[in-house]
């Protein structure tokens, strides 16, 4: 098992009182699948044993499956250490996290935002790091996660009048939903070590750009969000990584896993996944510096069942 779980306090079983029927994503994440859940729901396998999501992001599909399918074991991972730490903290140390979020909520201002943004994650404990990420995520421009060449978060503050930093009830539902989930920082290909026949894996990688101006790959490159093979460099998710992902998809297909993948509709994607079922879906682009270029775009959902 190459991926290493960063937390050790997760309960192994659900309690009878726990409810995750209202569990929702607690982060805004570029490319998150909340708006497509209705469409994806009709493309799911009829049943599965375990669930894995190697580019977890906001976890929209995971939380949706928790609400509808209940207590399945799950493997959630991402290459972004701040994101993984945040998930682990919500799962394991929620009662320590909530007071810090409440403080951010009460003290939010432009001065507070930039003071928190300047903090270095390595100087904070894991709970403080998680609170920082959630606070910046809920108050920065468009919920972007982007760092500069020195690894410093550099997204400006958004123009929200009264941003809601957190919802305690929703966070507790998310924490309940994350129980019995193993959470790792790892390269996407390491999911091969954790799954087998009858398991369901959903891949939602950084999308292949369909034009020079429409690409959001720059986010993936600068934030080291997912898929890179070396933890000491920024993770560029270019053509080579898309090809490596397609090879991983093929390996898991041979293991008789249920597989689903989202990406942009492009010639490259159709070439990489020829031989699989490819369906076109519509999504609304919400991130573009030019507001006139936001709107409906076409994506594909690839599956092997």
Residue 114 has pLDDT above 80, yes or no: yes
Ranking 3-7, 166-170, 185-189 by mean pLDDT, the lowest is: 3-7
Q: Summarize pLDDT for 6-47 with one digit per residue, the tens.
A: 444 444 344 434 567 889 999 988 777 888 999 999 999 999
If phi > 0 it is left, if psi is from -120 to 50 it is alpha, else beta; for residue 237 that is beta
Better-predicted residue by pLDDT, 286 or 114: 114
Tell me, what CATH number does 270's domain have? 3.40.50.150
pLDDT for the residue numbered 150: 83
Q: For residues 286 and 126, give the distance between their C-alpha atoms in angstroms, rounded to a whole number.
A: 31
* Boundaries of domain holding 178: 4-303
Q: Tell me how far the alpha carbon of residue 24 is from its chain's centroid.
A: 13
Structure tokens at 220: 């993936």
pLDDT for the residue numbered 29: 85
Ranking 23-27, 124-128, 148-152, 252-256 by mean pLDDT, the lowest is: 148-152
pLDDT for the residue numbered 285: 63
Q: What are the beta bridge partners of residue 297? A: 283
pLDDT for the residue numbered 211: 62
The mean pLDDT of the chain is 85
Mean pLDDT of 160-175: 93
For the whole model, what pTM was predicted? 0.85
pLDDT for the residue numbered 142: 86
Using an 8 Å Cβ cutoff, are 176 and 19 in contact?
A: yes
Backbone angles phi, psi at 110, to 5 degrees: -60, -40
Tally the domains of the chain: 1
Better-predicted residue by pLDDT, 62 or 11: 62
Mean pLDDT of 85-99: 98
Better-predicted residue by pLDDT, 140 or 228: 140
Mean pLDDT of 77-101: 97
What are the Cα distances from residue 11, in Å, to 14, 160, 195, 224? 7, 37, 21, 30
Better-predicted residue by pLDDT, 287 or 147: 147
Give the DSSP per-residue string, 177-200: HHTTEEEEE--GGGGGGT--TT-E
Q: For residues 174 and 106, give the distance between their C-alpha atoms in angstroms, rounded to a whole number.
A: 22
Residue 68 has pLDDT above 60, yes or no: yes
pLDDT for the residue numbered 144: 87
Residue 176 has pLDDT above 60, yes or no: yes
Mean pLDDT of 75-94: 97
pLDDT for the residue numbered 10: 41
pLDDT for the residue numbered 90: 98
Q: Summarize pLDDT for 126-136 with one digit per residue, the tens.
A: 999 999 999 99
């Amino acid at each position: 098992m190459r991926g290493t779980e960063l937390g050790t306090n997760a309960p192994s079983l659900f309690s009878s009182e726990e409810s995750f029927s209202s569990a929702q994503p607690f982060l805004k994440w570029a490319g998150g699948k909340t708006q497509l859940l209705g469409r994806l729901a009709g493309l799911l396998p009829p049943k599965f044993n375990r669930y894995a999501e190697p580019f977890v992001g906001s976890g929209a599909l995971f939380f949706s499956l928790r609400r509808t399918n209940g207590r399945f074991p799950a493997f959630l991972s991402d290459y972004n250490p701040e994101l993984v730490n945040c998930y682990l903290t919500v799962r394991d140390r929620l009662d320590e996290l909530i007071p810090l979020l409440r403080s951010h909520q009460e003290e939010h201002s432009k001065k507070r935002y930039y003071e928190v943004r300047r903090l270095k994650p390595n100087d904070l404990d894991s709970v403080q790091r998680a609170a920082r990420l959630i606070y910046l995520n809920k108050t920065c421009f468009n919920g972007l996660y982007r760092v500069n060449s020195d690894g410093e978060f550099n997204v400006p503050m958004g123009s929200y009048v009264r941003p809601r930093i957190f919802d305690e009830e929703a966070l507790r539902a998310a924490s309940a939903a994350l129980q019995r989930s193993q959470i790792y920082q790892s390269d996407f290909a390491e999911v091969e070590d954790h799954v087998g026949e009858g398991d369901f894996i959903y891949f939602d990688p950084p999308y292949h750009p369909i034009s020079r101006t429409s690409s959001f790959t720059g986010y993936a490159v600068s934030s080291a969000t997912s898929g890179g093979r070396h933890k000491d460099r920024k993770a560029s998710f270019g053509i080579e990584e898309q090809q490596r992902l397609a090879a991983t998809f093929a390996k898991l297909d041979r293991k008789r896993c249920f597989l689903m993948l989202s990406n942009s509709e492009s010639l490259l994607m159709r070439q990489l996944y020829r031989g699989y079922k490819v369906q076109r879906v519509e999504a609304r682009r919400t991130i573009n510096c030019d507001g006139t270029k936001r709107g409906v775009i076409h994506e594909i959902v690839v599956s092997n069942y």
